[in-house]
Amino acid sequence: MRPTISDCADRKITFFHAPRSRSGGTLSLLEELDADYELHLLNFKTGEQRQSAYRAINPMGKVPAIRHRDALITEQPAVFLYLADLYAEARLAPPMGDPLRGPYLRWLVYYGSSFEPAVVDRSSKRDAVPPSTSPYGTWDDVFNTLTAQLAQGPYMLGERFTSVDVLWGGALHWMTMFKIVQETPDIRAYIDRVITRPAMQRAAAKDAELAAQQAA
Ligand SMILES: N[C@@H](CCC(=O)N[C@@H](CS)C(=O)NCC(=O)O)C(=O)O
């Protein structure tokens, strides 16, 4: 049998992270996976992410980004897919052939391709484009699709906790905190279920420590 990526001994990645940013979700996932990584910290306050040294790594000047061997992976859904497959033994990614693989891909990609664009449009009070030309349709479509899925709980894919929940639970946590997304009882219960996990708590404490270090 050909070796898979998970058989490879060399699974250490470089993680490009800025405290208190979207890359906090990846920090949580790395903690859930008990992954081996080297941290490359960026200081948003000094605009380090927009300077040439980091642009040479990620031309978008954004985090999260990870590097594994010669490959750079950006975009949260891709980063989550890559890491959860790389550390498959943590069982946060239903494998190929598992009936949950399709829904798993769907909900990770939906987050980046529909949900975030909808949230950003809504929070910046942009004029909506016609639903048929928008990547997500309408905010109501997006929100109702999410709440209908969560109502089936306890996790996005039902009984099984996956990396999808690390992404969605963490994002809904900050989005409801900043009142960008409306908090319903199901959403609140879901967030609490996810963020109280020991690994999620450890990641939050690490992120706070890194933020404090940068502020000092
Ligand atoms: N499409 C990207 C978005 C990443 C993103 O917007 N990251 C923000 C962090 S909150 C960032 O790096 N902002 C710094 C900047 O643009 O200067 C993804 O899904 O990962």
Q: Is the dihedral of CA 83, 86, 88, 93 positive or negative?
A: positive
Q: What is the pLDDT of residue 4?
A: 55
For the chain, the average pLDDT equals: 95
Average pLDDT over residues 47-71: 97
Q: Is the CB of 21 under 6 A from ligand 1?
A: yes
Name the percent of the chain in helix, strand, coil, to the closest 5: 55, 10, 35
Residues of the chain with CATH 3.40.30.10: 5-91
Note the CATH number of domain 5-91.
3.40.30.10
Query: Ligand 1 pocket: which of 20, 48, 63 to mutate (most atoms <8 Å of CB)?
Result: 63
Q: How confident is the model at residue 125 (pLDDT cuts 50, 70, 90)?
A: confident
- Compute CA distances 197 → 58, 88, 192, whole Å: 31, 19, 9
Give pLDDT, residue 98.
98
Residue 5, pLDDT score: 53
Give the pLDDT confidence score for residue 32 in this predicted structure: 98
What is the position in ligand 1's atom list of the atom closest to the CA of 65? 20
Q: Please confirm whether the linkage preceding 131 is cis (ω < 30° from 0).
A: no
Residues of the chain with CATH 1.20.1050: 101-199
CB 190 within 8 A of CB 196: no
The verdict on the CB of residue 22 being under 6 Å from ligand 1 is yes
**pLDDT mean over 85-112:** 98
H helices of 70-162, in order, are 76-86, 101-110, 116-123, 139-152
101-199 carries CATH number 1.20.1050: yes
Residue 2 scores a pLDDT above 60 = no
Residue 169 — pLDDT band, cuts 50, 70, 90? very high
Mutate to test the pocket of ligand 1, among 16, 22, 207 (most ligand atoms within 8 A of CB): 22
Closest residue by Cα to atom 6, ligand 1, is 62
- Position 99 scores a pLDDT of 98
Whole-number Cα distances in Å, 55 to 20, 27, 67: 20, 21, 14
